[in-house]
Amino acid sequence: MPDSDNKKSRKPLKNLPQDRFQPRVLFIWLLVGLALTSLLMWSPGRLGAPITLKIQQVVELAESDAIKQGVIKPDLSGGPDWALVTGELREPVPVRPDSEQMTRSFRSAGRLTDSNMERLQRSQRFVEQPATTMWTQIMANVIPFVLIIGLLYFLFVRQLKNAGRGALGFGKSRAKQLTRDRDKVTFADVEGCNEAKEEIGEIVEFLKDPKKFSAMGGRVPKGVLMIGPPGTGKTLLAKAVAGEAEVPFFSISGSDFVEMFVGVGASRVRDMFEQGRKNAPCLIFIDEIDAVGRQRGAGLGGGNDEREQTLNSMLVEMDGFSTEDGVIIIAATNRPDVLDSALLRPGRFDRQVTVGLPDIVGREAILRVHAKKITLEESVDLALVARGTPGFSGADLANLLNEAALLAARRDKKKVEMVDIEDAREKVLFGRENRRLMDESERRLIAWHEAGHAIIQGLLDDGTVPVHKVTIIPRGQSLGSTTYLPTKDILTRPMKKLLDQIAMAMGGRIGEELVTGDLSNGASGDIKQATKIARAMVCDYGMSNLGPVALGDNQDTVFLGRDITRSQHISEDTARRVDEEVSRILREQYERAKELIHSHRAEIDKIAEALLQYETIEGKHVLEILKYGELRSPVVVAPPPPPKKVEEEPAPKEKEKEPKKEPALISPEAIGGAPEPTPA
């Protein structure tokens, strides 16, 4: 790249063009001035010039009852006895003898004697007022101007300024420039996506030293598309690029381009890119680009004409950029499958950066970044928190620590402890504790249901996904839950682990049947989860007697484009065999879980009895019962929430009522538990 272009790319921010004076503002103020002038010229006080009379003529007209009303003011410019008399006649008279213009007002200035003053007062048509000073006249003339101008400013000028740049700027871009001093973000504030940071860091190097890349004959990508689930930090990463490169950063959402008026979106696209050229080198970040970049011609009856015009304008503007412009487009989406193929071709979005969910190391780094804003107890182990939050995004982890801080504040603590983070994690995953009144039979049913899950997981686990906690306290929609804490991130799922997971899901139903001899609807969620896993094994993973064949229906829905009709991939006979294989897997794992539970009947009874006594036990207690047949570690019982105070009428002293036995506070809702969490 030439040196002149290199200097251009290093243009300081202080030389960027500021808001320029626009001619339409001057035009608006001219209209306001003309309106005020016309208002004052045609006010009721100036409808025709008053006739000039002598004081004696005014006195005679007053005595003949020809004056409707009048005002007498001292005239300081004439002398002590001089006065200014103005008023209105009952009948109109000519302004001048030779004029056709008529008027009712009159004016008279001169020496007003005491006798004439008494005669005017006897007519009861005149009112005396004090003399008008120069300051009073100025205020009387200026205040109306100020009030009218202020009213017009707030009614018109401010509305034009705030309502999307007014009607004259309806097609202007709504991209907002990020303020560096206030909203500066660097790579140190972004954790959990090291690979994405390294890949996108080339953009920062190019913006700082473009000659380094041009000397080798290479060029920086014109557009970078960041793909990933919601909350993984795509927007934060784009802000970090702008903060590291110290260049102007414009942010806009894809929905800001789409309007109900045809052509507005395309106009805003052109204005946005023109704004980027003027501030080059700069970054333009388009969030949720799938709102405007969806595939053309998709849906019933074709696509949306306005959205497709906006997309066409964006394609043309991106293809028109050259390397010397120093303008880089960064877009983010969590739906790359619906984007138009022309938008993803080289020359537009040259590079796709995947920002996925963080691993255990990334989660710990993210927690350490957010923990700087929270007062944590020294005993808090963020590595343990990271291990217990598989599948959490960066936004989820930030929310977890925030909930823990709020929970610690409600408990009147000075610092956030590990128990607060643990309770906040369960609240985020399963909902808040919801203790309700429940009879003993339902408590027993839920206890044996959760004990069935826990004992199967404890027997089949090889140490990678141990039982973390078992509780019969309801949270959210579940009446109880058995949670697991993976020791590492699970990236692949072997067939043995999937079968163990199905058997564990069946353990709750078998536990209910074991203690009651009947079935309930509490295992409905477990059955759905097990059926989903078994069908995926047969149709998607090839883990059945049908062989390695993909039998799932991968056809896109009509609103995502392409074909409207769905095609049948498998025959009726194959579909019947698929159903048979799914049923076979479920039956085999049900019998397997049933055999395990019956062979460890004493252990499952002890786990259920511990749940009935303590309501919540930890995973180590389950392992102790399986290994030693009893609990050897103390169980920490969380104190129940304080009951609400209810004001009751005082009982009479003569009759003392016996204290009533309050039922135990336990879990609510239907029997059993909702689907247990699966390791992520």
Nearest-10 crossing angle of helices 524-539, 572-599: 130
**517-525, long-range: CB < 8 A, 24+ apart:** 520/445, 520/670, 520/671, 520/672, 521/670, 521/671, 521/672, 522/445, 522/446, 522/449, 522/479, 522/670, 522/671, 522/672, 522/673, 523/449, 523/672, 524/672, 525/478, 525/673, 525/674, 525/675
Would you say 230 is a known binding-site residue?
Answer: yes
Give the residue carrying structure tokens 């890349």: 213
Instruction: Give CA–CA dist 345/85, Å, rounded.
Output: 88
Instruction: Give CA–CA dist 251/68, Å, rounded.
Output: 70
Q: What φ, ψ does residue 389 adopt, rounded to 5°?
A: -125, 55
Show the tokens assigned to 598: 């019956």
Would you say 5 is a known binding-site residue?
Answer: no
Burial of 304 (0-12, 13-18, 19+ CB in 10 A): middle
Q: Is 246 left (phi over 0), alpha (psi -120 to 50) or beta?
A: left
By three-state DSSP, how is residue 510 classified? helix
Catalytic residue status for 649: no
By three-state DSSP, how is residue 666 classified? strand
Q: Are 376 and 402 in contact (CB under 8 A)?
A: no
The amino acid that residue 580 corresponds to is E
Q: Are 491 and 679 in contact (CB under 8 A)?
A: no
Cis preceding-peptide flag for 281 (omega within 30 of 0): yes
Would you say 650 is a known binding-site residue?
Answer: no
Q: What's the gap between Cα 368 and its chain centre? A: 24
**DSSP string of 367-389, one letter each residue:** HHHHHTTS-B-TT--HHHHHHT-
3's enclosing H/E stretch is helix 3-9
Would you say 526 is a known binding-site residue?
Answer: yes
Would you say 235 is a known binding-site residue?
Answer: yes
Would you say 453 is a known binding-site residue?
Answer: yes
If one counts every other C-beta atom within 10 angstroms of the C-beta of residue 525, the result is 18
Of the candidates 94, 82, 85, 90, the residue with the CA atom closest to the CA atom of residue 49? 94
**Strand order across the beta sheet in which 51-52 lies:** 51-52, 102-111, 82-94, 67-74, 126-128
Catalytic residue, chosen from 306, 426, 450, 676, is 450
Would you say 233 is a known binding-site residue?
Answer: yes
> Who's near 315: CB < 8 A, 6+ residues apart?
342, 343, 348
Hey, which residues are catalytic here?
A: 450
Annotated binding site: 228-235, 449, 453, 526
Per the annotation, where are the binding residues for Zn(2+)?
Answer: 449, 453, 526
Return binding residues for ATP. 228-235
